[in-house]
Amino acid sequence: MAASGTDYYTLLGVDPSTEAPGIREAFRREALRWHPDHRPGDPRAAEHFRALHQAYEVLTDPVRRRAYDARISDRSSEHPDVEAQVTLGLREVFTGLLLKLEVPHARPCGGCGGTGREWGEQRMGCPGCGGSGWGAPESLYGLRLRPLCGVCHGLGNTGDRWVQRSCSDCHGLGSLLAHTLLEVRVPAGMDEGMRLRVPGQGHPLLRGGAGDLVLVIHVRPGPWTRRGPDITFSLPVSTRTLSRGGRVPLVTPLERLTVRVPRNSAPGTVLKVPGKGLPLPEGGGRGDLSLRLERATGG
C-alpha cells in the first residue's frame, strides 16, 4: 500500500524525468503485480492498484503532469524553498545589483478556488460502478482481470473526492504553475557560494505561509584575488615610475583613485590602500584594496 504522501513517480518506481513510454511500461509492470485478482485476500491491493492507475492517468497527460509537477512541490514541507543561481561580475560585487527574476510557484487555481471541480459541481460517489470502483471483467494485458471503472477510474465509493466535471483550468488538480516577477536587491560585497534568502517567496506550505527564495551567489572569475572584503589587483606601471616614483591613476567600479608608487619600487611590490576594497554585505565599512606592481608592457 502506498504510504501517505508518496508521490506518483515513487509509486510507479520511475524518475521524474521519465517520458510517457517509460511511464506506461512501469504502470503495466506494477499493475500486474498489484491487481487484486493476483492478490486475493490482500486488503492493500485494491487501494494500491487504484493509486497506480491514478498516477498513470496524470503522468501520461502532458497538461495534467505539468500541473502535478507544480503541485507536488506544494505538498512538501521538507523542501519548501526555491533556489535560483545568480552570477555576478566584478562591478556587481562592488556596487550590488537590483535583480529582476521570475519565480515559479504552485498556486491555488483561480478557476475553481483550489477544489479541483467546476463551480457548482457537487462532490458525489460514482454512479457508474455502484461504488465498487471496478468495471465488468475483461481482458487486460492478455489476462482475464477486472478493470477499473471507466467513469470514476476506480475511486468508487471513496469518491467524495470525485466529481463528474473537473475544473477545466487545472484538470482537477486544484493548483496551477504560476510565475511571480520579483525585484531583489543583491547587496555589494557578496562572495562565491553565499546565499541570499528572500522570505516568503518559495513554495506554499500545507499549513499556511511559504518557504523562501534562496539566491545562490556565484562570482565570475577575473584577474584578481580575494579574501573576504579584501581584494588584490595587478597594477601595470612604467619602468620610469618604478624607478623614480610617482602617482598612477586607478579606476574602480566605485571611484577614481590616485595611487602613489614609491621610488625604486620592484615589480611584485604590493601597495595597500586601506578602506578601498569591497563593501561588506551587511554594511558598515569596506575591506582593503591591494595593488601588486607589474612592469607595464613596452614601458
Q: What is the pLDDT of residue 141?
A: 45
Cα separation, 102 vs 254, in Å, equals 29
36 closest CA partner among 191, 147, 162, 136: 147
Cell numbers placing 256: 577614481
288 pLDDT band, cuts 50/70/90, is very high
User: Which residue did the predictor score with more confidence, 262 or 149?
Assistant: 262
106 closest CA partner among 142, 67, 79: 67
- CA 296, distance to chain mean position in Å, is 47
CA distances in angstroms from 287 to 20, 89, 231, listed in the order given: 55, 18, 8
Cα separation, 161 vs 124, in Å, equals 8
Q: Which of 175-184, 233-242, 257-266 shows the lowest per-residue confidence on average (mean pLDDT)?
A: 175-184
Residues ≥6 apart with Cβ < 8 Å to 168: 111, 118
Cell numbers placing 42: 490482500
Cα separation, 53 vs 50, in Å, equals 5
Q: What is the pLDDT of residue 71?
A: 62
Q: What is the pLDDT of residue 138?
A: 56
Cell numbers placing 105: 510557484
Cα separation, 41 vs 51, in Å, equals 18
Question: What is the average per-residue pLDDT within 239-244?
Answer: 94
Cell numbers placing 207: 499549513
Looking at CATH, the fold of the domain delimited by 78-122+163-219 is given as: HSP40/DNAj peptide-binding domain (2.60.260)
Residues ≥6 apart with Cβ < 8 Å to 296: 236, 237, 238, 239
Q: What is the pLDDT of residue 262?
A: 95
Q: What is the pLDDT of residue 11?
A: 85
Q: What is the pLDDT of residue 234?
A: 93
Q: What is the pLDDT of residue 46?
A: 80
Task: Tell whether the model's pLDDT for residue 51 goes beyond 60.
Answer: yes
Element (H, E) at 239: helix 239-244
Question: What is the average per-residue pLDDT within 125-140?
Answer: 62
Average pLDDT, the chain: 79
Q: What is the pLDDT of residue 15?
A: 86
What residues form DSSP beta bridges with 145? 138
Q: What is the pLDDT of residue 5?
A: 43
- CATH 2.60.260.20 segments of the chain: 78-122+163-219, 224-295
Is 2.60.260.20 the CATH number for 224-295?
Answer: yes
* Residue 275 and residue 117 in contact, taking contact as beta carbons nearer than 8 Å: no
Cell numbers placing 240: 620610469
pTM over 0.85: no
